[in-house]
Amino acid sequence: MFWDPTFLLMIPGLIITLWAQAKVKSAFNKFSKIGARSGITGAEVARHILNSNGLSGVGIEPVRGHLTDHYDPKEGILRLSDGVYNSQSISALGIAAHEAGHAVQHGVNYSALVVRTAIAPAAATGSKLGIWLFMIGWIIGIFTHAPITWLMDAGIILFSVAVIFTFVTLPVEYDASKRAIMVLEQGGFLTQDELPKAKAVLNAAAWTYVAAAATAVLMLIRLLILRGSRD
């Protein structure tokens, strides 16, 4: 975005992001080749979790793509990707249980999820508009030697909401994985030797959220440094 020395700050974020993506892809692919002894599919384990938590009204449907699994709180639908919905693999059960965990969080008004949902619209706007506002104020300063600092400040404030969102996401994802492993174990869907493999998949996925948070913080630091240089 800004080709100046502060761009070097983004390199660690880029490295951890690429590493996290490779890690989750590797773990998922590895254990997607190993079927769970229970013989249950991702959709079936998700349905069990939802029903046992009084969420029989939450629908489950397949969605195209690789690891595009997600719970849609607005429509009350759990969407599972091609490699999860009908799969009986350890990876599929872990991912399906994790996403069902988000539906359970929604059903019990899990505090961190409530906060994340509340700030999601502002975070989505801030992650894009915040950067653009800052860029406009900063670029004008390059050509006029009189940057529009209030515009840069507005951009930083908006982007800060996106940063907060990435950190609120961490406990939400951790809790969903914790719920998933607990159900998979207590429900007998995975054996004791299969559980560590499911944990490996979910732990790898968790690193993508850590990477997102780290990258967001580094970008915020960069914006603050650039802003300070214009005083």
Catalytic positions = 99
The one-character DSSP state at 149 is H
Closest CA to 102 of 125, 76, 82: 76
Closest CA to 162 of 209, 126, 121: 126
Residues pairing with 61 in the sheet: 79
Write 18-23 long-range contacts (CB < 8 A, 24+).
19/207, 19/211, 20/204, 20/207, 20/208, 20/210, 20/211, 21/208, 21/211, 23/204, 23/207
- Could you tell me the two tokens for 138? 């900063």
Q: Cβ atoms within 10 A of the Cβ of 197, count?
A: 19
The one-character DSSP state at 35 is B
Closest CA to 223 of 126, 112, 145: 126
Length of the chain: 231
Cα–Cα distance measured from residue 155 to residue 15, given in angstroms and rounded to the nearest whole number: 25
Place of tokens 């506002």: 133
